[in-house]
Every structure is written in structure tokens, then in C-alpha cells.
Amino acid sequence: MQQIKTSFDFEKPIADLVQQIEKVKQVAEKTKVDMSATLDELDGKLDETTNNLYKNLTGWNKVQMSRHPDRPQTLDYINMICDDFIEMHGDRTVKDDKAIIGGFATINGQTVMVIGHQKGKNTKERQFRNFGMANPEGYRKALRLMRLAEKFNKPVVSFIDTMGAYPGLEAEERGQGEAIARNLLEMSVLRVPIICIVVGEGASGGALGIGIGDKVYMLEHTWYSVISPESCSSILWRSWDFKEKAAECLKLTSDDMFGNKLIDGIIPEPLGGAHQDPELMGRTLKEYIVKDLGALGKLKTDKMIEQRIEKFCEMGVVNE
């Protein structure tokens, strides 16, 4: 099996076994004693431990996985999936919001409009991207690009990865709530196919602002919720100390969301998370996107919009 790079406390059993295997190899090399039986036993135990651990992650564990610093982001997926990409800037009103990127791209010869949150990889880039938290002009830029895609009859693919819309005073002054609400309205009736994929964090209206689509997927180790576990804990218990409990109560994992019929599917990640094998994750995403673009392209536009609206209208309905 591939070498798992561990980062979190819950991955310590894997790290301990890897350390044991390395020690046995060093002893075997130093003493020239055949340790193959011991190594085989440890390798088998490592495989079993690794598979069991990642199949039984808690809600908080998945939140941690979604925030891994090496996890691929929107620009990484664009580079892996698309043959080319022309980034487009600005909302034609205020400025160009760097937290949301978008532009025309080609996937297997088909032109699409790609839009997504970009958090940044290091401190300088995260500050430049505002940690992936968009201002109103970011959502207005996204809407401008979606309307452009509609004008030229090109599908839209969105990658969701944000801690939420930017909550600053200036964002509220420029109409943060209205910008997100406008996107929800416009995306629900956009006359081209829309595929939305949660590739990291999917928090609140910041995620929903580019999250209305004919197909909505979540990667295996991501989360999607009205509020982050930390914020939920601070509201309910006046402390962040209960974030693990909040994560379980919120039912924010991909399994919970799929079980509640709030998303259309779960895209499996490489063992240990998308950051362990970004290239494989990129190929998997591309397969899903290409397959759905083909299927959605065969639907009549009015029928596609009707199905999209019905899907979201059925969420949260209680029949007595």
C-alpha cells in the first residue's frame, strides 16, 4: 500500500505502525537477520488499521481532513482536469474578488465555465485570497460568469471550498445577503447544466452562493453545513471546547448529507484523503464531471430546470 503521510492526532495508530516497520527494517539491515515474517505481519496490521480508521472517521475528523494544508484546491483541480483555462476578473461594479476564481476552460474538448473558491496555500496567498471567504463582489462576479456561460450555452462547474462568506462590516454594507440570495435565484433557473462539487469546506451561505446545481456532490472527507462546528459550539456552549460534539450534532458529513437526500452523490477519495494522491483525485473528479456533462447535455432545457427546482423544493418538506 502507499505510504500514508499522517498529520492529525487520530492518525497516530498509523504513524506508530509505520515507525515500528521502519525500526524492524533497520534491525534487519543491521543484523542481516530475516525479518520478513514480522514485516508481513506488521504490513497486514497497517493495512487493516488504515482501512478501518478512514472508514470510521467522526464528523470532527472529517472537518479536520477537509482543512488539511496539502489538500488540493480549485486551481489545483483546474490544472489537473482542464486542458486550458482563461481566468476572468471583476464583477463590473466594485472590484475583482480574489476569493472566488472563474473562467472558461476545456474538459475533453468541451468548453465549460469553471467557478470556485480559492483559499491559498501559504500565509501570503491566504491573505491575498482572504482565506477563501468571498465578499459580495465575489458572488456577483460568479453570477456574471454564469450569465456569460448561459449566453454562449456552456455548462457551469463549481468547486466549493470556503469557511463562509466574509462577515465583515464592509461586506454587509455592500449587500452580502442580497448577493448570495440573488445567486440562489439565478442559478435555480440558469438555462445551462450546473455541476457543483464540495471539495473542502462547505460552510453556510458562502458555499450555497455557488452551490445550486443539477448535480451536487461532496468529496468523501468534506463537510457541508449551515455553520462550522466551532461557531456552533461557541453559540450553544459559549466555548469552542464542544466543537467535536457540535460536529456530530450538525450531521455535516458526506454520508449524513447523502442519507438526508441533500446531495446527489459522494465522490470517493484516495485512501487517507485527497492530499495523499491529488492526481488520482483529479482523475476521479474528471470522470464524474465528463459523465454528468454528457447526461445533462441530453436533457431538454426546460425539463432540466424543472428537475433542478423540484430537487431543492423537496428538501426539508414534512408530510404529515
How far are the Cα atoms of 17, 86, 122, 210 from residue 137, in angstroms, in the given order?
49, 19, 24, 13
- pTM equals 0.92
Q: Is 34 in the same domain as 77?
A: no
- Residue 29, pLDDT score: 85
Q: Is 239 in the same domain as 129?
A: yes
Q: How far, in Å, CA of 18 to CA of 25, rounded?
A: 11
What CATH number has the domain bearing residue 127?
A: 3.90.226.10
169 CA to centre of own chain? 27
Q: Is 35 in the same domain as 159?
A: no
Residue appearing with cell numbers 461586506: 171
Q: Is 229 in the same domain as 295?
A: yes
- Evaluate whether residue 178 is within a structural domain: yes
Nearest CA-CA partner of 1 in 316, 276, 314, 278: 276
- Evaluate whether residue 22 is within a structural domain: yes
- Residue 1, pLDDT score: 46
Q: Is 51 in the same domain as 174?
A: no
What's the number of domains the chain is made of?
2
Q: Is 30 in the same domain as 122?
A: no
Q: Is 28 in the same domain as 118?
A: no
- Asked if 20 and 42 touch (Cβ cutoff 8 Å), the reply is yes
Q: How far, in Å, CA of 130 to CA of 116, rounded?
A: 14
Residue 241 per-residue DSSP state: G
Q: Is 74 in the same domain as 47?
A: no
Last residue of a domain, one of 18, 33, 56: 56
Alpha helices in 32-116 (DSSP H): 36-55, 59-66, 74-81
One digit per residue, the tens of pLDDT, for the chain of length 320 reads: 456 776 788 999 998 998 898 898 888 888 888 888 888 898 899 889 999 999 999 999 999 999 999 999 999 999 999 999 999 999 999 999 999 999 999 999 999 999 999 999 999 999 999 999 999 999 999 999 999 999 999 999 999 999 999 999 999 999 999 999 999 999 999 999 999 999 999 998 999 999 999 999 999 999 999 999 999 999 999 999 999 999 999 999 999 999 999 999 999 999 999 999 999 999 999 999 999 999 999 999 999 999 999 999 988 777 77
- Evaluate whether residue 88 is within a structural domain: yes
- Evaluate whether residue 320 is within a structural domain: no
Q: Is 90 in the same domain as 18?
A: no
Show the domain range for 203.
Answer: 63-314
- Residue 260, pLDDT score: 92
290 CA to centre of own chain? 18
- Evaluate whether residue 3 is within a structural domain: no
**Helix, strand, coil percentages, rounded to 5, for the chain:** 50, 15, 30
Q: Is 298 in the same domain as 168?
A: yes
Beta bridge partners of 158: 115, 196
Q: How far, in Å, CA of 131 to CA of 102, rounded?
A: 16
- Residue 35, pLDDT score: 84
- Evaluate whether residue 272 is within a structural domain: yes
- Residue 3, pLDDT score: 62
Q: Is 236 in the same domain as 154?
A: yes
**Beta carbons within 8 Å of 245's beta carbon, 6+ residues apart:** 233
Helix pair angle (59-66, 243-250), 10° resolution: 100
Q: Is 44 in the same domain as 188?
A: no
The grid cell for 77 is 483541480
- Evaluate whether residue 2 is within a structural domain: no
